[in-house]
Chain A
Amino acid sequence: MPTVESLDKLPSMSKVDATRSIWLRLSRLPAIPLLAFGIVLGLALLAITAPVLAPYPPTQHNLAERLRPPAWVARGSPEHLLGTDLYGRDVLSRVLHGARVSLSVAVATIIVAGLIGGIIGLVAGYFGGIYDAVLMRLVDAFLAVPAVLIAIVIASTFGPSFENVVFVISLFYWPRYARQIRGETLSIKERDFVQLARVAGCSPLQILVTHILPNLAPSLTVLASLQVGSAIVLEATLSFLGVGIPPPQPAWGVMIEDGRGMVVSAWWISFFPGLAIAVTVLAFNLMGDWVRDRLDPKLQGL
């Protein structure tokens, strides 16, 4: 074998090549996921810069300008591009600030639900036996409870607030993480490298954290990206029912409820937040689908 040593001197991929390949990959994305990524990215930017971007504070009343239609409709004013609501609050400003609320609820839910569900799934899958039986029955129980009903009970007991919305949504989303993680842990723990990690002197905790968890990253990503959409819808539902984000705050669900009585006369009050929800959820779902197609090991090789 004369050439073994010369392999050492093969050039490795440099940093410049790596950044270029990321751009190359992005530019080769099909149109739909590219659009979805663009919308998600744009939303995130809008949400972050909402205080700067929005022409008015989201809760500022201006009774002189109340119920003004969007700028391009008769009686509309260029001062209020998407019109104003019953109290003269600027709809555009409120929709922009609403993105902040929706996205932060979604992100917080994913973190809380992912953490709880992940830990429970890992423990149930890795230790098995009685742990598995008890924890998975708990999961079944939670999946059987109607989310909205419990949310109303919790909100009416503790009062509506951002924390309670995150708590309620997480309460109903962690079982999905737990199930998925448990299933994959079951199959990963049987692979030889886990056995070898024990030989290397790893404790169960070290095996879970350094060997099993990194292997779950793709499915966690898929699950998280697919749940953003439904978390946003559930948040809007709760807010609409008055058990989510408390009213003066500009949540999309709250705004739809605000305009509910005037859908015929002042359609713009509930139309634009509704449109925002639809576009956001669609973009997140399309992105989630694409991420799943790329990362889901079950679809690999199909």
Chain B
Amino acid sequence: MDRSISYCLDSESQKASRVTSEPVLRVEGLRMYLRTQQGVVKAVDDVSFDLYPGETLGLVGESGCGKSMTCLSILRLIPDRVGEIVDGQVLFQGTDLLRLSESEMRRYRGRHIGIILQDPMTSLNPVLKVGEQVAEPLRLHQRLRGSALWSQVVAALRRMRIPGPETARNSYPHQYSGGMRQRVGGAIALAPTPEVLIADEPTTALDATIQAQYLALLKDLQQQSQLAIIFVTHDFGIVATMCDRVAVMYAGKLVEIAGVRELFFNEPWHPYTEALLRSVPRLDEDVGRLFAIEGQPPTLHDLPAGCSFAPRCPYAREWCAHKAPPVKVGAGGRSARCWKLFGYGQ
């Protein structure tokens, strides 16, 4: 590999620019409820965060905690029959996407907010040529045609370092390896030069070396274009490598947002974040048994009245189970939802 993965803890210049610039995406009190057989489920419950140009926000949490649902809600990709965004705002450069009509929304999706999905095997259409699939968003969003279109397609593929970008015009997805397909997915997402990229576990299906290459590539492209990335993952190694800030989700709620440095070097505010970090095996410690959080995440249609994490929380007091905790906001946009930070309501 021609470059080592640069740890982003040194990106002080980006942090500085963040303070002065406006957020490119601001999610405010987003609530998305799913309709299920058992009743209404609060899959995304009062989620708020800001995303600044050039920054990577990690979105972490256990499976089913609402990470992907948050991403799909931002793009309004939840089918009406499945669920509904009931409240909140998604402000893209000041425009509330939730108030747009479907045809207006179509101009933002992909053009300004791109998305890369987890599985490179299903995210490409098996019967369409690769070049055609990269061309599609350019054709629909930028109304490019003919040679202008194709030169953009080749440029997009080249940016993702796909070998032989010219031949992509005549090849099908099955002729590509998993890693290459995921790069094609990246090329499709980034071809219309969006300002925000949602990466929904893009490297989960890739093996370790390909994963490292892919992350380095994303980081590179981000530095060139001030792209803001929402990076969904449950791998804290990736969080340390890629992200500037981390948002931790539990049972549909954001429980903590903090800078990566604060989280790893100072202590996390929320007991769930603390437990998550403790569950990551470490090479420099010899332990007989790996740490696991006691109990199961709650089923979303049967949430506790108070804090959702209270039944599994080692710090929980009786109070926690009865009343939902408020959000404590600290310096630098740091925040967490826990009664412990409020002295248990005393």
Contact = CB atoms under 8 A, between A and B. Distances in A.
Given A4-B161, A210-B128, A217-B127, A201 B117 contact: no
Q: Main secondary structure on chain B at its contact with chain A? A: loop
Given A192-B119, A201-B111, A214-B127, A4 B163 contact: yes
A202 interface: yes
A10 interface: yes
Interface string A179-203: 0000000000001110111111111
A184 to B, nearest CB: 13
Contacts of B77: 195, 198-199
Interface string A1-29: 10011011010100000000000000000
- Considering residues A12, A192, A198, A211, which has the most beta carbons from chain B within 10 angstroms of its beta carbon? A192
Interface string B239-253: 000000000000000
B139 to A, nearest CB: 9
Interface stretch (B47-55, B102-110, B222-230): B102-110
B337 to A, nearest CB: 30
B94 interface: no
B137 A201 contact: yes
B254 interface: no
A10 B83 CA distance: 49
B125 A193 contact: yes
B1 interface: yes
Given A199-B110, A201-B111, A215 B1 contact: no
A213 B34 CA distance: 29
Contact of B110 (A7, A200, A217): A200
Interface in A210-239: 210-211, 214-215, 217
Interface residues of B, number: 36
Contacts of A196: 115, 117, 123, 185, 188
Nearest to B173: A193
Interface string A123-158: 000001100000000000000000000000000000
A209 to B, nearest CB: 12
A181 to B, nearest CB: 15
Q: Main secondary structure on chain A at its contact with chain B? A: helix
Interface in B26-64: none
A7 B125 contact: no
A95 B226 CA distance: 75
Nearest to A206: B140
B163 A5 contact: yes
Contacts of B122: 191-193
Given A5-B163, A192-B117, A199 B109 contact: yes
Nearest to A10: B164
Contacts of A201: 106-107, 109-111, 136-137, 140-141
Contacts of B125: 193, 197, 211, 214-215
Would you list the 9 A-B pairs with minimal beta carbon distance, nearest first?
A: A201-B140, A200-B137, A7-B163, A192-B123, A199-B110, A214-B127, A193-B125, A192-B122, A8-B164
